[in-house]
Amino acid sequence: MPIVAPSLLAANFLKLQEECQMLNDSEAEYFHLDVMDGVFVPNISYGLPVIEQIRTATKKICDVHLMIVQPERYAEAFKKAGADILTVHYEACPHLHRNIQQIKSLGMQAGVSLNPHTPVDLLKDVLDDIDMVLIMSVNPGFGGQSFILHTIEKIRQLRRLIDERALNTKIEVDGGITLENAASVVRAGADVLVAGSTVFKSKDPKETIRQLKHIA
């Protein structure tokens, strides 16, 4: 069964406490928190003060997805704000190995995210050091986009790399996940499903989370 990680980017920010409570009562294990800087991606979302407050509203795992340049400048601040998992983008980190060590030394789990055009092979030399790979199945920056089909092949390739080395590295897939495509994503080897619009725009978000959890 996959871990379900609803993305609060699609939540109603005027009702954030109720949205957090709904997630607390649901089968979701992670709160997926998308941070965008308007530089690495063409959009700005929310940042540290919002995450600090969300932290006080849940005991679940705060899975922070940084779509920002120079994440090393903020890693410690995100730890203080309550991040359990901190994911940086391969494409934003010329010194990725150093970024990973920094995140782990701060006591967080380290994730690395790949844009749709970035091959999974490029992670070969850091795979043993990380806790999670986040495969983007849309171009990062916005919720509500369509799933890029080629992602399925990337998930399979990464699953093979991880299994060959008998690692516990999790595969998280983010962008355009629906009740229709989630099963094929899990069958390809995903461990964690991020879902924004599918959860928060549905009539019964808690039931949608339950369906994602029991999808395959």
Single out the residue of 184, 197, 202, 211 in contact with ligand DX5 (rule: CB under 6 A). 197
145: exposed, middle or buried (C-beta count within 10 Å: 0-12, 13-18, 19+)? middle
Rounded Cα–Cα distance for residues 143 and 174 (Å): 10
- Count of residues touching Zn ion (by CB under 5 A): 3
Rounded Cα–Cα distance for residues 108 and 102 (Å): 9
Q: Closest residue to Zn ion, Cβ-based?
A: 65
Does 211 help bind ligand DX5 (rule: CB under 6 A)? no
Please say if 128 is a catalytic residue. Answer: no
Q: Given phi > 0 = left and psi -120 to 50 = alpha, else beta, which region is 49?
A: alpha
Strands 3-6 and 30-36: unpaired
- Count of residues touching ligand DX5 (by CB under 6 A): 22
Is the Cβ of residue 82 or residue 143 nearer to ligand DX5 in the bound state?
A: 143
Single out the residue of 47, 143, 189, 205 in contact with ligand DX5 (rule: CB under 6 A). 143
* Binding pattern for the stretch 22-51 against ligand DX5, x by CB under 6 A and - elsewhere: ----------x-x-----------------
Does 19 help bind ligand DX5 (rule: CB under 6 A)? no
Does 91 help bind Zn ion (rule: CB under 5 A)? no
Q: Which CB contacts under 8 angstroms, 24+ apart, belong to 48-52?
A: 48/74, 48/77, 48/78, 48/81, 50/16, 51/78, 51/81, 51/82, 51/83, 52/81, 52/82
Give, as one character, the DSSP assignment of residue 91: G
Rounded Cα–Cα distance for residues 53 and 116 (Å): 31
Catalytic residue among 34, 37, 131, 191: 34
Is the Cβ of residue 124 or residue 154 nearer to Zn ion in the bound state?
A: 154
Single out the residue of 28, 177, 188, 215 in contact with ligand DX5 (rule: CB under 6 A). 177
Chain residues in the site for ligand DX5 (CB under 6 A): 7, 9-10, 32, 34, 65, 138, 140-145, 174-177, 194-198
Chain residues in the site for Zn ion (CB under 5 A): 34, 65, 174
